[in-house]
Amino acid sequence: MLYLLFNEGHSGAVDLAAEAIRLTRQLALLADEPEVHGLLTLMLLHHARRPARRDRSGGLIPLANQDRSLWDTGMIAEGIEILQAALARDRLGEYQAQAAIAALHADAPAAEQTDWVQIVEWYDELLALTGSPVVALNRAVAVGEADGARAGLAALAGLDPKLPRYAAASAYLHEKAGDHATAAQLYAEAAALATSSAERDYLARRAADLRAASF
């Protein structure tokens, strides 16, 4: 429930994220459970990046293009410290694994310095814990970063195309592989399926940019 509350504030118009963090801090004091600390870390690391997620007009800025100087380094440091203590207890759970992936993103000084190999390893752990097709989808994108776009597309090939954001992931990997025509078509498909206006506008813009670059 706390994570649902956080996500509503993180992506919605009403900011409930700070309240979710406050409540999770209280729960962490009452319940000495590594997964509670993993959840708190996950919230802190996502919330730390919030100032860089949108441009001045409200448009979505993908993680790789965000101005990392806007990230809250104090919140990131706190989250990583909490996570390290939780992981040291050797009772890995879903939230700790998600937080470990977020920590690797947050700890990278620049997008090109992201430790994608380790991120894939954490996705393997998360997939073993959850068996989630959405986790497998995110893992395929990480494989594309770690081992190249073709490897990512191969990992994607075994997944259900009806998965949320499948078209967007496929578009990104095709773009990375240099197949801009296919990527543009897939970005347009992803835009039609997007559930938020910011995401829809970003995906439609990527489709238009790739089409324009082809002429």
Provide the pLDDT confidence category of residue 14 given band limits of 50, 70 and 90: very low
- The tokens for 187 are 């970005």
pLDDT exceeds 90 at position 110: yes
pLDDT level of residue 213 (50, 70, 90 thresholds):
confident
Q: What is the pLDDT of residue 173?
A: 98
The pLDDT, as a whole number, for residue 10 is 67
- Claim: this prediction has a pTM higher than 0.85: yes
In percent, how much of the chain has pLDDT > 70? 97
Length of the chain (residues) = 215
pLDDT at 87 (0 to 100):
98
Sign of the dihedral through C-alpha 147, 132, 41, 199: positive
Q: Nearest Cα to 3, choosing from 122, 134, 99?
A: 99
Q: What is the mean pLDDT of the chain?
A: 94
pLDDT tens digits, residue range 144-170? 999 999 999 999 999 999 999 999 999
Task: Give residue 11's pLDDT.
Answer: 63
Report pLDDT for 90. 96
pLDDT band at 126 (very low <50, low <70, confident <90, very high): very high
Task: Convert 23-87 into a string of H (helix), E (strand) and C (coil).
Answer: HHHHHHHHCCCHHHHHHHHHHHHHHHCHHHCECCCCCECCHHHCCHHHCCHHHHHHHHHHHHHHH
- Condensed to tens digits (0 to 9), the pLDDT of residues 65-79 reads 999 999 999 999 999
pLDDT in tens, 24-34: 999 999 988 99
HSE of 24, CA atoms in CB hemisphere, 13 A: 26
